[in-house]
Structure 1
Amino acid sequence: MNHARKVHIALNVTDVNRSVEFYRTAFGVEPVKWKPGYAKFDITEPPLNLTLNHQANIEGKGALNHLGIEVSSTAEVLAAKQRLREAGLEVIDEMNVDCCFALQDKIWITDPDGYRWEIFMVKVQDTQPDLTVPQGQHLQACCRQ
């Protein structure tokens, strides 16, 4: 599967269902994945991979979970890892990780203010296709880095 480069933004939200309704309206698209504690929108214009991650209390933590750039191949992830390490940045890698109900290869870097960025590629889009969102249920879903 070949994906175009797009910005990935993951937001902490207190109510995934309420936030899905808002972003469904704001961008005019349906979520491509909606699981307990997690929803994902694959937006064409602007090119954006937006995820909503349940957090019971975001007060004092801000609403931002992490930022990311989705690339097309593991080779691109590894090239970024090498380039960033050679530039002196601390790089944490997670290869073959099940995150956000998808199998991924990824690396993480953190900016001086603590904002976490991931560069990742998705190998399997949905590792739990039969899992549905029970009404009123919220679970911690992913990206615990």
Structure 2
Amino acid sequence: MPRPSRETYGDQKPPYSYISLTAMAIWSSPEKMLPLSEIYRFITDRFPYYRRNTQRWQNSLRHNLSFNDCFIKIPRRPDRPGKGAFWALHPSALDMFENGSFLRRRKRFKLPKNVSQELATLTKLQNSSYSGVPMPESS
């Protein structure tokens, strides 16, 4: 993965989509998943442009996380204190950034409808009081 630095773009807007910026942040993590606050931190640390108008770009980034099938929300385990869930790239979406290119994406990643419905059901179960759904293990 290329490592864009703050010297590369300075105060100019970098040529990366919110999806690409989020993927870079997630891939920089040893566990390949991050809470939203750490995704924000990664972006502002590396791209000074995003230190301004934070509410605007953060709203857009949250929208992309929630409505793009290439990201999956992983509930926080009880033994991992903190606020909010973790975000990761869907395993089937990993080739979106093949060869480390974050500048352009091929066609938008979209899960087949039945898979999307299964994930939605699983998320509802995990967010409910039902305790029969196993929580993801950390590596």
TM-score when normalising by structure 2: 0.25
Higher helix share: 2
User: What TM-score, normalized by structure 1, do the two folds share?
Assistant: 0.25
More strand by share: 1
